[in-house]
Chains A and B, each alone.
Chain A
Amino acid sequence: MAEKTVIDVQHVCKTYFMEGGTSQSVLKDINFQIKSGEFVAIMGPSGSGKSTLMNILGCLDKPTSGKYILEGYDIASKDDKELAVIRGKTIGFVFQNFNLMMKRTIADNVSLPLIYQKVGETERYNRAVEMLKKVNLIGYQDRPPSQISGGMQQRVAIARALINNPAIIFADEPTGNLDSKTSDEIMELFTFLNKQGITIVLVTHEDDVADYATRMIKISDGHKVYDGLRKEYSKEKEIKC
């Protein structure tokens, strides 16, 4: 059965225009599609443009030219308000620094995206508890995040990303602040979620993290230099630009 296309990136370019008339081209003619249920790692060295690509994919930024279609929405034509709605309903974000609110309870953190969708307080709490079960954090809902470990905090962030039943989860260096053992736990959680049908796109520069993904897209100097199965990747297979 053909899987549904979640992400369709067509000839996407991103150029930053600086003061003084200079410009810097960060992404150059990027094309790829991601289908529902894929687990994709976007890789590349520092300054390659992978974070910019991630920002565009996450609807936090728009391409300078080209088309980006997410779940059928043409992102370039949407205004800020519409993009906020798309982010809230379609995307789940997992950040390197977890980005939890330390003065709030874990349940408050997990249910935060639901506030913007006008979900009532009781339902928010119930759904947060349900999500916490999914990431194996039963009974932690009323504690502040400061009382749990880094790995657990990242699991809270994953529960937060899942709460809207998003079409796709974007994880930006999700293990960057974790030790290797905890990193493995988090990546196993992502694998588990992916096996349940959730599409996952993660940005990383660590090979062993990327190994959990099935597909790999490599960016170098703003160009896509590799797009294929992770296990088949080798330096030699990179396209020369």
Chain B
Amino acid sequence: MLTAIIKEAWISIASYKLRTFLTMLGIMIGVAAVVMMVSAGQAVQNRITDTFASMGSNLILIGPAELVTGGVRGGRGLPSVTVADVAALKTLKDVETTSYLMNAAVQAVYGSRNYGVSVKGTNPDYLAVNNWEIEDGIMFTEKDVRAAKPYAVIGQTVVDELFGLQNPIGKTIRLKGKPFTVIGTLREKGDGLMGDDQDNIILMPSTTVRQRLAGSPRPQYTGIAFVKATSEDKMELVAKRVEYMLRTRHRLKDGVKNDFTVRLMTEMVEKVRSVGFVLSALLAAIASISLIVGSIGIMNMMLVSVTERTREIGTRKALGAPNSWIMMQFLAESVLISFIGSFVGMVFGIAFSQLGGHLFGYEVPISIWSVIVSVTVAVVVGIVSGLMPALKAMRLNPIDALRYQ
């Protein structure tokens, strides 16, 4: 019986091709918009997660304390964590390794080429902490750090900008007029969270940066320190140990606030992800308004159709159609319209989001949610918008319906 009803419904909607298409269009646009928004939101969330993952998800970041005046956050205080602190943190239980950074932005020169780069002074563990890999050559050693060797390990952007197709290993680049030997190159990482180029980087021994580039008045302090826990579930525990150790080393009495901040990378990922989720839910909610408009379109068309086909309904009833059959047929028509509309909308939504992802350089996942949402929407919208017209058709008195002009 269901097959016969669906077939009858199909023939009916196929009889009014343009009208059916225009009605479907509303649902198509609605579903395509929802799918695109959900995909866009998911692409952004994935990008955030990937970026954090590329930075190392077991990471604990230790930075300067926040300055709070009268309840208002006023930026960051002076660096308080020393190189010695970082070395001491490495001895803590469940700590895989530690590292730190001293940043300097300088112009790198090789031959006639020059390029503005971000120089990070650190220790050899920085690679492991931040998931960097050596592409070519070697990383400097602890011995090099102690000796403040003028060694540079350069990112792919720096390789491209300064050396082009030449092999940079063993070449000398100049920063602030001082020579540094390139001993290694880093494997490409791609863009960062804010679209920044993560490969525009030069790693050097922290001592080298301190002595030759930074000229800092507080050379023993790190800008930011990293502690890498042995696993993600140990992070909370390690963070507590880090805090305890630093308070002890900084001789902070009870009641005195920390002169540093400890942040978990997972916490930051969760925060950013929840913002991303809320954002994509909001986008989907806005897009779903067009779905409501589309479903009103279906209801309108079905109501017109019931009125137009009053005599047909009367004839069908006179010829033995039970009321339930009439209701099911009209319901099937609206469900078919919204189902086909949703399916086409989903296909277009996926196609456009892939195209958009391609254009903007984002990897857009084809979400199973898009399919689930589309099918659910199809059935729900079809039933909701078809129910009233179907009930109207079902309740028609066959005598009045047959007399209808």
Contact = CB atoms under 8 A, between A and B. Distances in A.
A, B in one complex: yes
Interface of A: 55, 58, 60-61, 80-81, 84-85, 87-89, 93, 95, 97, 99, 101, 103-104, 108, 112-113, 115-118, 121, 160, 164
Contacts of A89: 320
A61 B399 CA distance: 8
Contact of A115 (B8, B314, B399): B8
A54 B1 CA distance: 31
20 contacts: A55-B399, A60-B402, A80-B323, A84-B321, A84-B323, A85-B322, A87-B319, A88-B321, A93-B319, A95-B315, A97-B311, A99-B311, A99-B315, A104-B11, A113-B319, A115-B4, A115-B8, A116-B322, A117-B320, A164-B320
Contacts of B318: 58, 60, 87, 93, 95
Contacts of A112: 316, 319
Interface of B: 1, 4, 7-8, 11, 15, 311-312, 314-325, 398-399, 402
* Top-10 shortest CB links A-B: A88-B320, A103-B15, A99-B315, A84-B322, A113-B319, A116-B320, A87-B320, A93-B318, A60-B398, A116-B321
B35 to A, nearest CB: 34
Contact of B319 (A61, A118, A160): A160
Contacts of A101: 312, 315
Given A81-B323, A88-B319, A99 B402 contact: yes
B6 to A, nearest CB: 12
A95 B318 CA distance: 10
Contacts of B399: 55, 60-61
Contacts of B1: 118
Nearest to A115: B4
A164 B314 CA distance: 18
Contact of A116 (B7, B311, B312, B325): B325
B400 to A, nearest CB: 10
A61 B400 CA distance: 11
Nearest to A89: B320
A96 B8 CA distance: 25
Chain B interface mostly: helix
Given A85-B320, A85-B322, 18 more contacts: A58-B318, A80-B323, A81-B323, A87-B319, A87-B320, A88-B320, A88-B321, A93-B318, A95-B315, A95-B318, A95-B402, A101-B312, A101-B315, A103-B11, A112-B316, A116-B319, A117-B320, A121-B4
Contacts of A81: 322-324
A224 B330 CA distance: 41
B394 to A, nearest CB: 10
Contacts of A164: 320
A113 B315 contact: no
A92 to B, nearest CB: 9
A87 B311 CA distance: 17
A157 to B, nearest CB: 9
Contacts of B315: 93, 95, 99, 101
B330 to A, nearest CB: 15
A99 B320 CA distance: 14
Nearest to A80: B323
Could you say which of A101, A112, A115 has the most chain B C-beta atoms within 10 Å of its C-beta? A115
Nearest to B316: A112
A117 B322 CA distance: 10
Contacts of B316: 112
Contacts of B402: 60, 95, 99
Nearest to A98: B315
Contacts of B11: 103-104, 108
Contact of B317 (A84, A97, A115): A84
Given A103-B15, A104-B11, A118-B1, A113 B320 contact: yes
A47 to B, nearest CB: 14
Nearest to B314: A99
Contacts of A80: 322-323
A108 B316 CA distance: 12
A4 B8 CA distance: 38
A84 B149 CA distance: 97
Contacts of A60: 317-318, 398-399, 402
Nearest to A86: B320
Contacts of A116: 319-322, 325
A161 to B, nearest CB: 9
A93 B399 CA distance: 13
A180 B337 CA distance: 45
Contacts of B15: 103
B281 to A, nearest CB: 44
Contacts of B8: 115
Nearest to B318: A93
B403 to A, nearest CB: 9
A112 B315 CA distance: 10
Contacts of B325: 116
B131 to A, nearest CB: 64
B230 to A, nearest CB: 69
A117 B1 CA distance: 9
A99 B315 CA distance: 7
Contact of B320 (A84, A104, A121): A84
Q: B7, B321, B324 — which one has the most chain A CB atoms within 10 A of its CB?
A: B321
A193 B14 CA distance: 36
Nearest to B11: A104
Nearest to B7: A121
Nearest to A90: B320
Contacts of A99: 311-312, 314-315, 402
**Residue among B4, B15, B315, B318 with most chain A CB within 10 A:** B318
A160 B402 CA distance: 16
A103 B321 CA distance: 19
Contacts of A104: 11
